[in-house]
Structure 1
Amino acid sequence: MASIEACVFTRKRWVLEKMLAFGFQQVGDDYVIERSFLNGDFEAILTVTEKGMVTGRVIDAISHEEYYQLRQKNATGAYVNTVRAAYEELLEAVAAACCQDVLFASDQANRLTQSILERFQVAPDFPWEKETRYQSYGTFRHASNRKWFALIMHVKRAVLDKDDNPDPVDIINLKIQPEQGEALRQLPSVYSAYHMNHKTWISVVLDDTHPDAAIMKWIDESYRLTK
């Protein structure tokens, strides 16, 4: 399950000038802020790395210990739910003050989105935006037949490597000719399509392993095959 922080900040980009104005302090390579909430009963400590990764700690002001119930899935009492809601409200306020919205989590996904818009005059739509787990899944469709030619998803690396790696990544699903599949899947960061036909679709991790120009060639082919 994604952390509370990941849910709030997944499609955000930190703006350093806004962070400093809001009160973040540089500590080594990171930026840290402390804020009390819920009438001073709790202290939130947020740490943002230079790559924009966010971690948070919530400290009980009375015991001075971390309030672990916040992250326990089976902790569903009225009080812990009140603390969660107040913490999420604080995170949303930080995001509004310190971040700008982006469509996708990775820089490469956002660059490719702009390239697709310029080449095909197609912007993504988000058909599952009301569902937290799938809200960042963006589809790129033909105007004529509404078929997808690309789908960008934010998933755990584990679903690709079939291990327990919890790190989230953006991937793009693209249609291919079946005879190309074996060769493409031998390339680093290219997999059998996640949640789509393995023979005719691939998933490419958008972590800059492959340059934008190379992925755009695969997008061109997917566009042609689905037209």
Structure 2
Amino acid sequence: MDNIAESIFKNQRGRTEKLLKAGFQKRGQQFVNQSSFLADAFTLTITVTLPHTVITELIDNETQQPYTLHLNANNTGDFVAQVRKAYLDTLQKLADQCFDQDVFQTEQAHLLIQTIKKNYGDELEFLWKKFPDNAIWRRSDTKKWYALLMKISKRKLGLDSDEVATIVDFRLTAKQHDQLIDNQTYFPGYHMNKQHWFTILLDGSVPDADLLKLLQTSYELAQ
């Protein structure tokens, strides 16, 4: 992907039914749409590979050659700026119409999002504009938080790695605190009261069944 497309779609997840409704044709594992662009001066082909890879090709209809000047921010001039704006607007419209926000892209993050929506009817809340990778769930009746979903460096958990990981914070009982916290799989609550919360890496180190049991406990503790 070019930098413009990457910045728009990196935290998005394309939806098959929305892409088809928008006129994309399914070709194998890809979805392809070709259309005139900027008053027929160009032909724009957009190829989407789920979940969020978007490749574009802009062909100058007069020369039948690829046009790429709009992809380099250092290229200036009224016409290039016009092409760049139209290109950005087109991709943003595609993101709004055919993609859903998908900040947390691990399988276990998706499992929690789907389970919570199904069992409790709660949606992720993004409360902090300065921290778009942080979100919470709260009970609809008590308004108390019962889980936080975040992306942080593993080093912030005391691990010897700068890899960015997706984590979840749950409430825990005193018994769980004494039995589970090992600073390898279960960590003291990141950015939360370490006596009442704990952190789990959503990388499969905790089995799905255990993760969902801990979710249920946390939900109940938020009464």
For the aligned pair, the TM-score class normalised by the smaller chain equals 0.5 to 0.7
Alignment partners' CA distance in 2, 1:164 and 1:44:
36
The alignment covers a number of residue pairs equal to 207
Alignment partners' CA distance in 2, 1:53 and 1:103:
9
- Describe how 1:101-112 pairs up with structure 2 within 5 A: 101=100, 106=105, 108-112=108-112
Alignment partners' CA distance in 1, 2:82 and 2:187:
42
Question: Out of 136, 148, 157, which is 2:145 matched to?
Answer: 148
Alignment partners' CA distance in 2, 1:5 and 1:22:
22
2:158 equivalent in structure 1: none
2:25 equivalent in structure 1: 24
Alignment partners' CA distance in 1, 2:39 and 2:114:
44
Alignment partners' CA distance in 1, 2:198 and 2:76:
41
* TM-aligned CA distance change 1:211 to 1:34, over 3 Å: farther
The Cα of 1:140 is off from its aligned counterpart by: 1.0
Contact 2:12/2:100, CA 8 A, preserved across alignment:
yes
TM-score (ref. length: structure 1)? 0.61
* TM-aligned CA distance change 1:103 to 1:138, over 3 Å: farther
The Cα of 1:223 is off from its aligned counterpart by: 3.1
Contact 1:12/1:105, CA 8 A, preserved across alignment:
no
Gaps of 5+ in 2: 156-160
Q: Alignment partner of 2:66: what SS? A: coil
* TM-aligned CA distance change 1:64 to 1:20, over 3 Å: same
2:47 equivalent in structure 1: 47
TM-score (ref. length: structure 2)? 0.61
* TM-aligned CA distance change 1:117 to 1:79, over 3 Å: same
Q: Alignment partner of 1:151: what SS? A: strand
The Cα of 1:53 is off from its aligned counterpart by: 2.8
Contact 2:167/2:199, CA 8 A, preserved across alignment:
no
Measured against aligned partners, the alpha-carbon deviations of 1:59-94 in whole angstroms (never above 9, x if no partner) come to: 473663533x5365x779876654443223222443
* TM-aligned CA distance change 1:145 to 1:84, over 3 Å: farther
Contact 1:38/1:83, CA 8 A, preserved across alignment:
yes
Gaps of 5+ in 1: none
The AA in structure 1 aligned to 2:139 is: H
Alignment partners' CA distance in 1, 2:166 and 2:83:
31
* TM-aligned CA distance change 1:211 to 1:13, over 3 Å: farther
Give the aligned CA root-mean-square deviation in angstroms.
4.4
* TM-aligned CA distance change 1:174 to 1:84, over 3 Å: farther
- Match status 1:85 vs 2:89: no
2:212 equivalent in structure 1: 216
Q: Rg: which structure is higher?
A: 2
The Cα of 1:150 is off from its aligned counterpart by: 0.8
Contact 1:160/1:191, CA 8 A, preserved across alignment:
no
Measured against aligned partners, the alpha-carbon deviations of 1:25-60 in whole angstroms (never above 9, x if no partner) come to: 52x6434444442334555443323x4231334547
- Match status 1:70 vs 2:71: yes
- Aligned residues: percent identity? 25
* TM-aligned CA distance change 1:80 to 1:198, over 3 Å: farther
